[in-house]
Amino acid sequence: MPKRVLIVGGVAAGASAATKARREDEEAEICLFERGPYVSFANCGLPYYISGEINHMEDLLVVTPKRLEDRFNLQVFVNHAVRRVDPKKRQIYVEDLERGGIKTHSYDSLILAPGAYPIAPPFPGRDAPNFFMLRTIPDAEDLKKFIDEREPKRALIVGGGFIGLEALEAFTARGIGVTLVEMLPHVLPNMDPETTVHVEEEMSRMGAKIILGNGVKSFEKDSSGLIKKTILENGRRIACDLVLLSIGVRPDVKLAKESGVEMGATGAIKVNDRMETSVRGIFAAGDAVESLNLVTGKPGWFALAGPANQQGRVAGANAVGKDLRFRGTLGTFIVRIGKIVAAKTGLSEREAQTEGYDFITVLNHPMHHATYYPGAKTLHMKLVAEKGSGRVLGAQVVGEEGVDKRIDVLATAIFFGAKIGDLGDLNLAYAPPFGAARDPVNQAGLVGSHLISGEVEAYHPVRAKDQDGEDVVFLDVRTPKEWEKGTIPNALKIPVDELRKSLPEVKAKIRGRCVVPYCMEGYRSYIAYRMLKQKSVECVKNYAGGYLSYLSHRAVDIEE
Ligand code: FAD
């Protein structure tokens, strides 16, 4: 008898599962149920459809039901919602949303891939026609139609995660002024504030207003029933012609829970590395499941397209009797806002702290390619590594160019368990238009290995408040031309090339205090650090990431 495989949800995880099952088993009967009108569409492309970068909605359809039927011999049921699972009888109950009526289908293997749903608290006023969320193609079509027809001037975006930021970019491209409200003290909550501050600066440059540390209380409608004002928790009222709510998603676990499937600690469906749930014959994949965090070794929840596709593939193969494994994820993501790209893999500093790691952080601001080749742009990088082992725990990269390449190198290194020193030894591609003979990733590795070995002690500006009691003297080792553009207040100023001969003067001025050399981004101050250390200056700390880190942290302090 051919195996019967039923799949709930027809997008990233569901469609991957279905096509992999077919590639493994030509005889199986495979049915895909999707409650929406489309299968296998690119949610990730929706913001670019709103902006007009992607012109035709059809371009978002990665594969059509006809292609799934012709090429993969799948039975595709769109506008069909799976309402109930009976694991004892191995049956599902499916409602036809167009014609009505419920039909029963039997399975040998069932794959749950229902995804996640947007968090939408019952704010008063959110039933208005100019209130939107962005998850599906119909959501995007409604929003685009509203913009095309009504030509709104002011949009209010609630939530500064990657969907909120991509929407901000799209609205700005359409000539709409944006105010973005975020409850937390910075956007992209999974990253650290001194990296996201560069994103916020770009948002402001694009003309957006950013309100941090504040949430939405309600919406006020006018006589036509449209939201005209958003009321914030602190009572502030913001005029707007359109509202987009993007405050995060939750795993859609209703069907799984009602089927007796066990949930994990994160609230998502618990699965093993074969994507099997606790109920025999039922697999699950995608945004609805939790997966192993490859850094912590603990279950985590990551709603991202890459893992959803990988998990779907594993579930599809195993549903027809194969034995594939999903290894886990690092939560690697990347987002573009105007000219700036922000990306992260593994843990942020805050996450490393929460997990109880003893760690060092590397801050550096290298150019994305050789400085002498025209067009070099600054990258802002932050790496976290475990103190004892040197294992890289996470990385964040923000900048205009070359972010994608660095984050993927770092994600690959972390995936294979790299130590921070290994990054210094990586042999990466180099020619002046693409990188540097010592690539930014190599540089970060060298800085980190010095910190781990104790060869260099860093002054970490994030912890400047904790270091208030510490009596330090900042030593600016840049050139007089650079000083003209700004220095840390009260810093001693001696260019690194004159430091050797000025040592007696430095020693006299520091009078037993700790000296913190800094330059633009950390290299010249490292040379000064080594010189001072070998000339018997007892307490020296290198300013991590130099003056550029100082500016980032000052910007965070000003925001706070
Ligand atoms: P989904 O894609 O949500 O698909 C689940 C499907 O199951 C849905 O279509 C739903 O209708 C259907 N379903 C649910 N219950 C039932 C039922 N009972 N019966 C029938 N059908 C059902 N990720 C990235 O990695 N990079 C990005 O740049 C990125 N950008 C994004 C931009 C936007 C605007 C959005 C919304 C998401 C973005 N994501 C991005 C996230 C990514 O799209 C998801 O992680 C991925 O789609 C998850 O795939 P999935 O198959 O688990 O769930």
User: For a pocket test of ligand 1, which of 19, 39, 41, 44 has the largest count of ligand atoms closer than 8 A to its C-beta?
Assistant: 44
112 CA to centre of ligand 1 in angstroms: 13
Q: Is the CB of 305 under 6 A from ligand 1?
A: yes
Residue minimizing CA distance to atom 52 of ligand 1: 286
Q: What is the pLDDT of residue 554?
A: 80
489 CA to centre of ligand 1 in angstroms: 50
Q: Is the CB of 81 under 6 A from ligand 1?
A: yes
Q: Is the CB of 546 under 6 A from ligand 1?
A: no
Residue minimizing CA distance to atom 7 of ligand 1: 9
Q: Is the CB of 46 under 6 A from ligand 1?
A: yes
12 CA to centre of ligand 1 in angstroms: 6
Q: What is the pLDDT of residue 537?
A: 87
130 CA to centre of ligand 1 in angstroms: 23
Taking CA 116 as the corner, what is the angle to CA 114 and CA 119, rounded to the nearest 5 degrees? 145
Strands 75-78 and 29-34: parallel
333, part of any domain: no
**In a structure prediction context, what are the per-residue pLDDT tens digits for the chain, which is 560 residues long?**
889 999 999 999 999 999 999 999 999 999 999 999 999 889 999 999 999 999 999 999 988 889 899 999 999 999 999 999 999 999 999 999 999 999 999 999 999 999 999 999 999 888 999 999 999 999 999 999 999 999 999 999 999 999 999 999 999 999 999 999 999 999 999 999 999 999 999 999 999 999 999 999 999 999 999 999 999 999 999 999 999 999 999 999 999 999 999 999 999 999 999 999 999 999 999 999 999 999 999 999 999 999 999 999 999 999 999 999 999 999 999 999 999 999 999 999 999 999 999 999 999 999 999 999 999 999 999 999 999 999 999 999 999 999 999 999 999 999 999 999 999 999 999 999 999 999 999 999 999 999 999 999 999 875 545 455 567 899 999 999 999 999 998 899 999 999 999 999 888 888 878 999 999 988 999 999 999 999 888 899 999 999 999 988 887 766 65
Ligand 1 atom index nearest CA of 42: 43
Which is the catalytic residue, given 31, 44, 514, 539?
A: 44
102, part of any domain: yes
559, part of any domain: no
If asked whether residues 212 and 313 sit together in one domain, one would say no
Q: Is the CB of 338 under 6 A from ligand 1?
A: no
328, part of any domain: no
Strands 249-251 and 116-118: antiparallel
Q: State residue 412 phi and psi, 5-degree precision.
A: -65, -45
CATH number at residue 434: 3.50.50.60
Predicted model pTM: 0.94
Q: Is the CB of 35 under 6 A from ligand 1?
A: yes
Whole-number Å distance between alpha carbons of 152 and 169 = 15
324, part of any domain: no
Q: Are 16 and 24 in contact (CB under 8 A)?
A: no
If asked whether residues 135 and 193 sit together in one domain, one would say yes
462, part of any domain: yes
Active site includes 44?
yes
Ligand 1 atom index nearest CA of 14: 51
Ligand 1 atom index nearest CA of 306: 25
101 CA to centre of ligand 1 in angstroms: 26
311 CA to centre of ligand 1 in angstroms: 13
What Å distances lie between residue 3 and 6, 65, 324, 512, CA to CA?
Answer: 10, 21, 18, 78
Q: How many domains does the chain have?
A: 4
Q: Is the CB of 48 under 6 A from ligand 1?
A: no
**Structural domain harbouring 15:** 4-117+250-319
CATH number at residue 510: 3.40.250.10
Residue minimizing CA distance to atom 12 of ligand 1: 9
If asked whether residues 236 and 140 sit together in one domain, one would say yes
If asked whether residues 313 and 382 sit together in one domain, one would say no
Closest CA to 398 of 247, 252, 555: 555
Whole-number Å distance between alpha carbons of 319 and 6 = 9
115 CA to centre of ligand 1 in angstroms: 5
Q: Is the CB of 139 under 6 A from ligand 1?
A: no
Q: Is the CB of 248 under 6 A from ligand 1?
A: no
Q: What is the pLDDT of residue 420?
A: 97
If asked whether residues 140 and 111 sit together in one domain, one would say no
Closest CA to 40 of 62, 24, 67: 62
Ligand 1 atom index nearest CA of 118: 36
Q: Is the CB of 328 under 6 A from ligand 1?
A: no
If asked whether residues 437 and 486 sit together in one domain, one would say no
From 421, 453, 485, the end of a domain falls on 453
Q: What is the pLDDT of residue 34?
A: 97
If asked whether residues 393 and 288 sit together in one domain, one would say no
Residue minimizing CA distance to atom 1 of ligand 1: 115
If asked whether residues 470 and 443 sit together in one domain, one would say no
125, part of any domain: no
Residue minimizing CA distance to atom 18 of ligand 1: 82
From 219, 247, 275, the end of a domain falls on 247
Q: What is the pLDDT of residue 556?
A: 77
DSSP 141-161: HHHHHHHHHH--SEEEEE--S
- 337-349 CB burial, b ≥16 within 10 A, e <16: bbebbbbbbbbbb
Q: What is the pLDDT of residue 536?
A: 84
If asked whether residues 256 and 304 sit together in one domain, one would say yes
If asked whether residues 353 and 436 sit together in one domain, one would say yes
Q: Is the CB of 170 under 6 A from ligand 1?
A: no
329, part of any domain: no
From 267, 287, 319, the end of a domain falls on 319
If asked whether residues 491 and 428 sit together in one domain, one would say no
If asked whether residues 26 and 95 sit together in one domain, one would say yes
Q: Give all strands (DSSP E) within 260-318, no chain letters.
A: 282-284, 291-292, 299-300
Whole-number Å distance between alpha carbons of 261 and 545 = 49
Give 163's contacts (C-beta < 8 A, 6+ positions apart).
47, 134, 246
119 CA to centre of ligand 1 in angstroms: 14
